[in-house]
Structure 1
Amino acid sequence: MITITGHEQFRAWQEKTMPAVEEVRPGVWSIPVPFPGNPMRYTLAYLLVGEGEAVLVDPGWDSDEGWAALVAGLATAGITPSFLTGIVATHFHPDHLGMAARLRAASNAWMALGEHEPLPSQWSQDTREFVAADRTQFQAWGVPAGRLDEVAFQARTWQLMRGMQEPELRLADGVLLPVAGLAVRVLFTPGHTPGHISLIDEVNQLVLTGDHILPRITPHVSLEAHGHGNPLADYLNSLDAMDIASAMEVLPAHEYRFTGLPERLDELREHAQERSREVAGVLAAGNAASVWGVARELTWSRGFDSLHGFTLRLALAETASHLVYLRSQGVPVDIAVPRGAPASAR
């Protein structure tokens, strides 16, 4: 069982309020940034202050409310945005790097991502091509025609992703962040996204886990990002890679800080394997002929029929990731799991 160390954060989570800005260690600050309209409510950005330089990790969702909270949090730590040397996003999701463009404009700080994280500019240069390919994928996964508009990306979604700040720096596994006075090392932890990274601060015995490890919620691992061949296998391997930080305090991007990482890793491994066993059981019964058909037979917290919109999209992509994983483990999987548009349609 984990031990909660972010007591103020835990209380805020329970009470559905915003936690306070906290100095976790000398020069290490936790700054909550609002995530409007989302059940997660906030992203925990982390300010790491070195010798005359500083880096901000996961600056959060871009909004005026979030900007005000972030600037106020930096002020509590005694700095302004212009003092920042760098911005690091653990992965390319808007609740983690959405604010990066504003910060770049206010500071001229560099922005960095893991070296293997794919960017929208690498997926497609054409909005119509991308949207059509995404729709074709979900159609091939068995989504009924009447639900395709609900789950497939629309042009506005693509434009949002293309509008986010792209990195000047790419961080390889094992390198130190290029910030004077810090000794924070990059750990490659793919799964939630293809190039997700965590950060190891051995001096302070801290590990910043982004969305890879959260204290209560199981991170979403799905066949979502382009170029991600077997996300669940990657995720399980990345859980093993976290053993290096087993004695450290965990600083996640959501919820609250904790210790007891080995126990949490075991819980996450078992959760993933239990879900795969459930998917394998559906396959063995022989009643499902598509990703949609398998997903309908699985257990969901409020039932499959309660899933709509983006939540339904994620559920289908999660199901697809388990099918790909099971096939890689030698389990007979007769259901096709194509990605994007067929070659003949491109």
Structure 2
Amino acid sequence: MTQVIEHGGGVWSIKVPIPDNPLGHTLVHLLDTDPGPVLVDTGWDDPDSWDTLAAGVAACGTTVEDLHGVLVTHHHPDHHGLSGRVRETSGAWIAMHAADAHVVRRTRAQEPGRWLDYLATKLAAAGAPDEHLAPLHAARASGRTRTLPGLNAALPDREIVPGELLDLAGRRLRAIWTPGHTPGHVCLHLDEEHPARHPGRGRLFSGDHLLPGITPHIGLYEDPDDPATVTDPLGDYLDSLERIGRLGVAEVLPAHQHAFTEPAARVAELLDHHEARLSDLRTLLAAPLTPWQIAERMEWNRPWEQIPHGSRTIAVSEAEAHLRRLVKLGFAEAVPGGDPVTYQAV
């Protein structure tokens, strides 16, 4: 299978594999600039992924050693994972939005087991059964927390400031803040004529924000050190989608699947999808349910019984994000006195 695709105008994509993941690969993009080549994302921290990235960069006519910088769309390990090794090899700078840079610094500074403790407590409060919590407690007790992904990712040394042209001579690249998938997710707008002269305002490196055939995960923004903060990631995502839909780009270069055109139509599909989910959730909440019970009853890409442990945790977080949106809109509320807490439509 071809690992490198040339998109024209000094832009390539490299299919960097994600081990043991149904997504298959991350599309790492390489952009020619006057000071040198720049990557958009890096891929998962894995030996095979590194070899594929290095071979792909070579197929684009350069080397990892010659990379000038890395623009990270968001902090997840399939995007930011190899940034540390890229910087070690090339000396490239690493840039990220401040909100996600904060997550990276927090993760590096914390004792690794802190996250598992927080996650287990949060899932218990959401109504998760003991058999779901047991593997988290076992991992904490065994010390396997040192293998959590993302711990080797680079601390960013530059900030991506939304709205400003990035300091990349020879290119017009502007960041657009698109929170939702993560608090600091950014899309990068290459505001230049499309090389095939497609109508529209250039091209968009969309990260995970806008994908052609799948819906990105929208879960709660977690901060173990600030549990009192109440965020609305789904509301953030929907607002961000509408901003991107109005941009009018000719082509989208996402981090998964494939490049595509007509982004406004895809934005409309995603807005409709989440509106339908919120409507279905209001119907489910005719009787009080815990977040875990809500997740069990929501529609996923497979029956709940076939969803593996880690994906169930993600599903509960996504259910909570939709639930939090309903509460903010005044369509649901917590039932007083429940332990774990239950919610009901109003």
Deviation, 1:157, is: 4.9
Deviations 1:91-128 (A, max 9, x none): 01110011111110110000011122142432662334
Match of 1:179 among 168, 173, 185: 168
Measured in 2, the distance between the counterparts of 1:148 and 1:311 equals 13
3-state secondary structure, aligned to 1:119: helix
- Alignment counterpart, residue 222 of structure 1, candidates 219, 224, 230: 219
SS at match of 2:317: helix
Q: Report deviation, 1:177.
A: 2.2
TM-score in terms of structure 1 length: 0.86
Distance 2:5 2:30 in 1: 10
Superposition deviation, residue 224 in structure 1: 4.7
Aligned twin of 1:45: 28
Separation in 2 of the partners of 1:335 and 1:225? 23
Asked if 1 retains the 8 angstrom alpha-carbon contact of 2:35 and 2:168, the reply is no
For residues 329 and 88 of structure 2, the distance between their equivalents in structure 1, rounded to whole angstroms, comes to: 47
Contact preservation (8 Å) 2:4, 2:15? yes
Instruction: Give the Cα–Cα distance (whole angstroms) in 1 for the partners of residues 253 and 115 of structure 2.
Output: 35
Q: Equivalents in 2 of 1:131, 1:120: separation in Å?
A: 16
2:51 matched residue in structure 1: 68
Aligned CA distance change for structure 1 residues 128 and 70 (closer, same or farther; 3 Å): closer
**Per-residue Cα deviation, 1:58-97 (whole angstroms, up to 9, x for no partner):** 1111222112211111112211112111111110111001
**Shift in CA distance, 228/189, structure 1 to aligned 2, threshold 3 Å:** farther
- The gaps in structure 1 that reach 5 residues or longer are 1-17, 337-346
CA contact (8 A) 1:215 1:256 kept: yes
Deviations along 1:44-65, whole A, 9 cap, x unmatched?
A: 0111111132210111112221
Size of the aligned set, in residue pairs, is 317
Match of 1:243 in 2: 245
Which position in structure 2 is the counterpart of 1:322?
322
Pairs within 5 Å for 1:147-166? 147-150=132-135, 154=140, 156-157=144-145, 159-166=148-155
CA contact (8 A) 2:36 2:67 kept: yes
Distance 1:131 1:310 in 2: 12
**Which piece of structure 1 moves more, 312-321 or 117-126?**
117-126
Q: Retained in 2: the 8 A contact 1:223–1:320?
A: yes
Structure 2: gaps (5+ residues): 195-201, 224-228, 337-346
Of 202, 205, 208, the match for 1:208: 205
Q: Deviations over 1:171-228 (max 9, x none)?
A: 1111222222121100000001111000000114110000001000011101153367
Return the structure number with greater relative CO, CA threshold 8 A, min gap 6: 1
CA contact (8 A) 1:83 1:107 kept: yes
- Structure 1 contact 53–180 (Cα < 8 Å) conserved: no
Deviates more, 1:116-125 or 1:269-278: 116-125
Structure 1 segment 1-346 matched on structure 2, within 5 A: 18-117=1-100, 118-122=102-106, 125-150=110-135, 154=140, 156-157=144-145, 159-203=148-192, 204=194, 205-226=202-223, 229-283=231-285, 285-288=286-289, 290-334=290-334
SS of corresponding position for 1:30: strand
> 1:119·1:166 contact (CA, 8 Å) conserved in 2?
no
161-170 or 108-117, which moves further after superposition?
Answer: 161-170
Give CA-to-partner distance per residue, 1:136-156, whole Å, 9 cap, x none: 111000001121134688564
1: CA distance, partners of 2:24 / 2:151: 24
Where 2:150 maps in the other structure, the secondary structure is: helix
2:256 counterpart letter in structure 1: H
Paired with 2:335 and 2:314, the residues of 1 have a C-alpha distance of 18
Q: TM (normalized to structure 2)?
A: 0.86
Cα gap change, 1:151/1:307 in structure 2, threshold over 3 Å: closer, same or farther? farther
> RMSD of the alignment, in Å?
2.0
Contact 1:54 1:179 in 2 (8 A): no
- Give distance in 2, aligned partners of 1:281 and 1:157: 39
